[in-house]
Amino acid sequence: MNASILTLITFLPVAGAGMVTLLPKRLLPAFTLLFTLFIFLLTLHLPAHFDTARHGFQFACNLPWIATPAIHYHVGIDGLSLWLVVLVGFLAPLGVLVSWRVIDHHQREFYSLFLLQQTAMFGIFVSLDLMLYYAFWELSLIPITLLIGIFGRKNGRAAAIKFFLYAFIPSALLLVAILWLYAKTGTFDFVLLQSQMHTLATGANATGLWLASLAFLLAFAVKVPIFPLHAWLADGISEAPTAIAMILAGKLGLYSLLRFHVGLFPDQAAHIAPLMVALGVIGILYGSLLALVQTDLKRLAAYATLGALSFCVLGIYAFTAASMDGAVYQILSESVSAGAFFMLLGILYERYATYDMAQLCGIAKKLPGLATLFVITALSLIGLPILNGFVGEFMILSGSFQTHPRLASTATLGVILSAAYMLWMLQRVFYGAPSKLVAAGTQADISGRERFALWPTVALMLVMGVASVYWMRAIDATVPAFAPSFAPVSITTRISNYARMTNLR
């Protein structure tokens, strides 16, 4: 079981996609829901049997696939990928629930593509062979592009093409870099490569290593996205159907940055880290300031996402245990909260067919249940303590403060800005007297199906806010080791240093 569980989880959605093409149309949502729920339950097997005391990859499976070039089917997870796999499992049923009524044409295509992208995501997180990883990476592009193009809003096609070009062109460079690594080492295997990296880093290869690391970085940075490579984000998110907007940004790129950029090129990453930290801080402020002046709810959400993801970038490249742990935790919690936020936006759109804040006003009076959920989710996104957002944000900021005090302080300004744009949004959309559109409507408050999607998510926000240790144990066992030359300074030395300094003064 332990050796095949990852394979099972990864490829079950493809099997589901096959079944979707055969089933009658009216059964599709229900079938996909049950199927994704089942997969989610399977992913829960992983944390239940994960051993935090053990080093290296667990649930691993390493089989030769192609002899020349030596491509292996090598999968496995560690503390970094463990919860990301569970997260992909968790978000899929929610995506089905919010698509239930919205997707009213080409359902067969929608659900099979949706399941296909789930396989690609699982594959990205579990692959330990670069070629296998690259295959999943490219595979993830196609279903998402099609889903945005076919099921998006009126400019869906343009947004889909934009997304595809932005993601695809740097991916080609990534492939070149992977092939170069193979040419130099004769292997695609992540574990082997990692152990050979220091022998590879000799004078003759220095430039090549740098170029390869930059190719990796560029491909991942676009996917996150990191400022200023975020041009696809606002269009992509605002045009994509809810189920896709929920999974479009963030985790794939951020995971890959940590695993394959920092993990394979520690020296190069250490050299470029100051730039990445700066871009992270810029992204936080830039995203928040742009969110502040948006009039379209989904664009506001897109820029808010840019800000939230930039926190993770800051945390990863600040290279302290706290900031890196916090960054991974923030990936999880941001995905949950932003997922809830996009679901709520979708629910709102189902009722009023607009994301324009000028037309929506005073909804709280009409739909109090929806308003309550919106408020809780907004509070989670702005990092209110005892909700999930705070833990990651706090660890990222306090961790990066140790290596970059000025930049981390600047980033902390984002805490004020995020409160400003979120509360202003809540006020404009939910409070005050109802607008013409809202007053005239007879829209129903949140339905049972929607509750089924949102209540567990909200509960998770609360649990992740107070019981972070449960998730952090595995993360903390793995992630800090990614930092190049990580040396924790003991507290007593700090205080005695301090005392010495003041004595001298």
Partner 1 sequence: MTTNMHLWLLPLLPLAGFLWNGTLGRRLPKTLVTSVALLFSGAAFAQVLWIAAQFRSLALPHVESFATPWIAIHGFQVDFSFLLDPLTLIMLLVVTGVGFLIHLYSVGYMAHEEGYWRFFAYLNLFLFFMLTLVLAENFLLLFVGWEGVGLASYLLIGFYYNKDSAADAGKKAFIVNRIGDFGFLLAIFLLVAHFGTLSFTSIFGAIAAHPAMQGGVLTTIALLLVLGATGKSAQIPLYIWLPDAMEGPTPVSALIHAATMVTAGIYMVARTHVLFDRSPLALGVVAIIGAATAIFAATIGIVQTDIKRVLAYSTVSQLGYMFLACGVAAYSSAIFHLVTHAFFKALLFLAAGSVIHALGGEQDLRAMGGLRKKIPVTFWTMTAAVFAICGFFPFAGFFSKDAILFAVFNASVLHSLYLGKLLWGIGLVTAGLTSFYMFRLWYLTFFGSARYNEEHAEHGGHGVHESSWTMLLPLIVLGVLSLVGGWMGWPEALGGHDSFAHFLDPVFGASAAAAPVVMSSASAGMERMLAGLSMLIALLGWLLADILYHRNPKLPERMAQKCSALHALLLHKYWIDELYGAIIVRPLLAISRVVLWRGVDAGIVDGSGVALASGASGFSSIVRRMQSGNIRSYAGWLAMGAALVLIFVFYLAHCI
Q: How far is the CB of 280 from partner 1 (least distance, A)?
A: 16
Number of C-beta neighbours around residue 25 at 10 A: 10
Which SS3 state, helix, strand or coil, does residue 44 take? coil
Contact positions with partner 1 (CB under 8 A) in 158-217: 162, 165-166, 180, 205, 207-208, 211
Contact positions with partner 1 (CB under 8 A) in 260-299: 286, 289-290, 292-293
Residue 266 or residue 389: which is nearer to partner 1 going by CB? 389
Residue 110 or residue 303: which is nearer to partner 1 going by CB? 303
Residue 459 in the binding site for partner 1 (CB under 8 A): no
| Binding-site member from 4, 385, 439, 444 for partner 1 (CB under 8 A) | 385
**Alpha carbon distance 202, 123 (integer Å):** 32
**Token duo for residue 415:** 């805490």
Burial of residue 449 (number of CB atoms within 10 Å: 0-12, 13-18, 19+): middle
The residue with tokens 């140790």 is 402
Choose the stretch contacting partner 1; rule: CB under 8 A; options: 72-80, 147-155, 239-247, 417-425. 417-425
Residue 230 in the binding site for partner 1 (CB under 8 A): yes
Residue 15 or residue 416: which is nearer to partner 1 going by CB? 416
**Alpha carbon distance 471, 52 (integer Å):** 11
Residue 415 in the binding site for partner 1 (CB under 8 A): yes
Residue 379 in the binding site for partner 1 (CB under 8 A): yes
CA distances from 26 to 18, 32, 109 (A): 16, 11, 14
**Alpha carbon distance 376, 397 (integer Å):** 23
Residue 83 in the binding site for partner 1 (CB under 8 A): no
Contact present, 70 and 29 (Cβ < 8 Å): no
Choose the stretch contacting partner 1; rule: CB under 8 A; options: 6-14, 111-119, 132-140, 461-469. 461-469
Residue 432 in the binding site for partner 1 (CB under 8 A): yes
Residue 35 or residue 286: which is nearer to partner 1 going by CB? 286
Residue 483 in the binding site for partner 1 (CB under 8 A): no
Q: How far is the CB of 132 from partner 1 (least distance, A)?
A: 25
Which SS3 state, helix, strand or coil, does residue 63 take? strand
Residues pairing with 192 in the sheet: none
| Binding-site member from 8, 386, 444, 459 for partner 1 (CB under 8 A) | 386
Residue 346 or residue 389: which is nearer to partner 1 going by CB? 389
Nearest to 296 by CA among 421, 414, 383: 421
| Binding-site member from 185, 194, 412, 443 for partner 1 (CB under 8 A) | 412
Residue 353 or residue 499: which is nearer to partner 1 going by CB? 499
Number of C-beta neighbours around residue 502 at 10 A: 8
| Binding-site member from 226, 313, 378, 397 for partner 1 (CB under 8 A) | 397
The 10 Å CB-count burial string (b at 16+, else e) for 258-270 is bbbbbbbbbbbbe
**Token duo for residue 113:** 């593509």
Residue 254 in the binding site for partner 1 (CB under 8 A): no
Tell me the helix, strand and coil percentages in the chain, rounded to 5.
Answer: 75, 5, 20
| Binding-site member from 31, 65, 73, 431 for partner 1 (CB under 8 A) | 431
Kind of pairing, strands 71-77 and 58-66? antiparallel
Q: SS in 3 state form for 147-203?
A: HHHHHCCCCHHHHHHHHHHHHHHHHHHHHHHHHHHHHHHCCCEHHHHHHHHHHHCCH
Site for partner 1 (CB under 8 A): how many residues?
Answer: 71
Contact positions with partner 1 (CB under 8 A) in 134-163: 162
Q: 95-134 mask for partner 1 (x: CB under 8 A)?
A: ----------------------------------------
Residue 402 in the binding site for partner 1 (CB under 8 A): yes
Which SS3 state, helix, strand or coil, does residue 394 take? helix
Choose the stretch contacting partner 1; rule: CB under 8 A; options: 26-34, 75-83, 228-236, 270-278. 228-236
Choose the stretch contacting partner 1; rule: CB under 8 A; options: 2-10, 109-117, 139-147, 491-499. 491-499
**Alpha carbon distance 188, 60 (integer Å):** 16
Q: How far is the CB of 204 from partner 1 (least distance, A)?
A: 8
Q: How far is the CB of 389 from partner 1 (least distance, A)?
A: 11
Rounded to 5°, the CA angle 418-242-233 comes to 55
Contact positions with partner 1 (CB under 8 A) in 320-359: 321-322, 325
